[in-house]
Structure 1
Amino acid sequence: MSDRTVPIRRRTPLAELLSRHGSLAALVVLVAVNAAITPHFLSWQTLSVNLTQVTTIIIVAIGMTMVIATGGIDLSVGALMAIAGALAPLIFEGKLFPLPSPFVGVVLAYVLPVLAAGAFGWFNGMLVTRYRIQPIIATLVLFIAGRGIAQVMTNGNLQPFQNPPFQVIAMGHVVGVPVQVIAMALIGAAAAWTMRRTVFGRQILAIGGNERAARLAGIPADRVKRQVYLISGLCSGLAGLIVVAINSSSDANTNGLGMELDAIAAVAVGGTPLIGGRAAILGTMLGALIIQIVRYMLLANGVPDAAALVVKAGLIVLAVALQLQGRRT
């Protein structure tokens, strides 16, 4: 046996910096480039437009990050947005059951659709844990059936409405900041604190890192998985309400369409490995902003939206490649 020791490869300072703050560095570069080539990019109006357009993606992607951290995936998020968005107008317009007052209708329209989406998320978790169905297959069930459920509730028709108290979640402002942006920031802060400071957060990472070892250590893996799918459903439900409030209408055919891909893209670009074991909540938020700013930059400079889709795909490939390189070094 040789006495020689195998040298340990250490990361260069640049590799370590990019591993820890790559998403933030990319965002700073994008902002600088846009400030130079995109007219009025640094105006408050442009900032507000980009923030409001990315809010729903970030909210859904936060739930997706927690699911992916356990080694799972959730393809049903867009369909759950459609269900919540279809249910809300039916409630505050009194089409499901009599309402004692319009105020009660608005409160119930906020609460019940989000809880319904959470219940469907719990159902996803049950398929994964009790029946041991692979997450991609388990959530594919509601990816297909969920939008059908929403279309049945609305007969496939657009539901226009004008309800200012309900639309506060999308149209309201607090000290000039949109309410939906405040809600997104609070959800992001709560999720980041949960992942860093709580036992629940550590259990999520342990399950994603090595589920068998986590079970042997006494972690209730099945319960934790059901809870993260529940959280993903709740996030999707809230995002669905924001979309219909912005549009002053509910369209089960388009609400949340493609959101599962946008959320997964934000997670990947933000630095969370798609194999689980890590969760970068702030990185996910930055990843969504990066994708949004790239899309805005292309559109503002006359590049067709179809090209933005190609660039989005390229960003995902680049993010995954950087993650693989980071694990090798």
Structure 2
Amino acid sequence: MAEALRLRAPAPRTEALGLLRRYGAVTALALLVLFNLAFTPNFATLQTLNVNLTQVCTIVIVAVGMTLVIATGGIDLSVGSLMAIAGALAPLIFLGKLLPLPHPLVGIALAFVIPILVSGAFGWFNGWLITRFRIQPIVGTLVLFIAGRGIAQVLTNGNLQVFKVPEFQFIGLGRMLGIPFQAILMLVIVGLATWALRRTVFGREILAVGGNERAARLSGIPVGRVKRRVYLISGLCAGLAGLIVIAINSAADANLIGLGMELDAIAAVAVGGTLLTGGSATVLGTLLGALIIQLVRYTLLANGVPDAAALVVKAGIIVLAVWLQRQGRA
């Protein structure tokens, strides 16, 4: 009996890997903060906090949608291009270039709604392609990864759109009770996604589809509908992030909006502990992962390390996160 219990007991190495997977992101973030407090000048200032928070919010918003997609066993390469479409479309609306407006506030209201809905529709199209033709998600979303930025460039004729519209730019530059409004949006989205995954039937369906699609289908879960919905949500998140980016920059450049965002979002999900093979999801982990990636980049730049080196370090962090996932599963 004692021998059987010893055989069932987890090995110390397995326990250590499990703890590292569970608490590794929190530990890494804490170590980064302590390092910066000790060695980075002016780290413990509101200005530094604001800079890092501003740069991480859009990554987190996009990464939340990416978390849901990856939880179903998929991937979304189109989020950066969908950001570009939303960012290109919004100024055309509130500047009255698409149609005459009865009042400027009408254009601003429409500029908040229409681009996000359009991005969501393109996200749904991704899900439709994948489920209708049963193609791999990386191939299905590659279509809009390529064509989406082209659509944004066609909308603007490749021109930079400069504007100064405080009512619209509140989404990226405004504050409520001293807190950046985009940070409030980020926390609301993180909270809603966490609640949905833990407390709703839809959340359980997402994890079931990613864990074993065939079993989920046999148990009566509408697999196709679940996948189309998560890609729709990913598109909506990308559209919102695109509006925040152009609001901060006071300009929309279809060539640059969301460039490389798909990689940052996937990295945040991986570092946060969500399995890239599907079947699990931790939105709070994704938030931590995005904070770690941003803080690593800030730490290196603040200490005189070139941005190119920061990209290499980011790649190393992703490799480490994937290795830990594989060891934890084993």
Query: Which TM-score band applies after superposition, normalised by the shorter structure?
Result: over 0.9
- Name the amino acid aligned to 2:23: H
Residues 11 and 54 (structure 1), Cα distance of their counterparts in 2 relative to 1, 3 Å cut: farther
Q: Which residue of 1 aligns with 2:163?
A: 161
> CA separation in 2, counterparts of 1:15 and 1:226?
34
TM-score, with structure 1 as normaliser = 0.97
Q: Runs in 1 of length 4+ with deviation above 3 angstroms? A: 11-16
2:219 to 209, 217, 220: 217
Aligned sequence identity (%): 70
Residues 11 and 231 (structure 1), Cα distance of their counterparts in 2 relative to 1, 3 Å cut: farther
> CA separation in 2, counterparts of 1:216 and 1:86?
43
Q: 1:183 aligned to 2:185?
A: yes
- Length, aligned pairs only: 326
1:173 to 172, 175, 178: 175
- Name the amino acid aligned to 1:204: I
Structure 1 range deviating more: 38-47 or 63-72: 38-47
Residues 178 and 120 (structure 1), Cα distance of their counterparts in 2 relative to 1, 3 Å cut: same
Q: Which residue of 2 aligns with 1:317?
A: 319
- Name the amino acid aligned to 2:264: D
Unaligned residue ranges in structure 2 (runs of 5+): none
1:167-194: per-residue Cα shift (whole Å, max 9, x none)?
A: 0001100111000000000000000111
Unaligned residue ranges in structure 1 (runs of 5+): none
Structure 1 range deviating more: 24-33 or 252-261: 24-33
Q: Which residue of 2 aligns with 1:144?
A: 146
| 1:278-317 correspondence to structure 2 within 5 Å | 278-317=280-319
Q: 1:206 aligned to 2:208?
A: yes
TM-score, with structure 2 as normaliser = 0.96
Q: Which residue of 2 aligns with 1:101?
A: 103
Q: Which residue of 1 aligns with 2:241?
A: 239
Q: Which residue of 2 aligns with 1:54?
A: 56
Give the root-mean-square deviation of aligned CA atoms.
1.4
Q: Which residue of 1 aligns with 2:270?
A: 268
1:138-189: per-residue Cα shift (whole Å, max 9, x none)?
A: 0000000000000000000100011000000011001110000000000000
Q: Which residue of 2 aligns with 1:10?
A: 10
Partner SS, residue 233 of structure 2:
helix
1:239-281: per-residue Cα shift (whole Å, max 9, x none)?
A: 0000000010000000000000010000110011110000010
Partner SS, residue 141 of structure 2:
helix
1:80-120: per-residue Cα shift (whole Å, max 9, x none)?
A: 00000000000001111111111111000000000000000
- Name the amino acid aligned to 1:181: A
> CA separation in 1, counterparts of 2:133 and 2:97?
36
> CA separation in 2, counterparts of 1:130 and 1:86?
29
Partner SS, residue 91 of structure 1:
helix
Residues 269 and 242 (structure 1), Cα distance of their counterparts in 2 relative to 1, 3 Å cut: same
Shift of 1:16: 3.5
Q: Which residue of 2 aligns with 1:82?
A: 84
> CA separation in 2, counterparts of 1:194 and 1:215?
21
Shift of 1:326: 1.2
Q: Which residue of 1 aligns with 2:124?
A: 122
Partner SS, residue 156 of structure 1:
coil
Structure 1 range deviating more: 191-200 or 36-45: 36-45
> CA separation in 2, counterparts of 1:202 and 1:187?
18
Partner SS, residue 229 of structure 1:
helix
- Name the amino acid aligned to 1:217: S
Residues 31 and 5 (structure 1), Cα distance of their counterparts in 2 relative to 1, 3 Å cut: closer
Shift of 1:288: 0.5
Shift of 1:23: 0.8
> CA separation in 2, counterparts of 1:215 and 1:154?
43
Shift of 1:48: 1.1
Shift of 1:6: 9.4
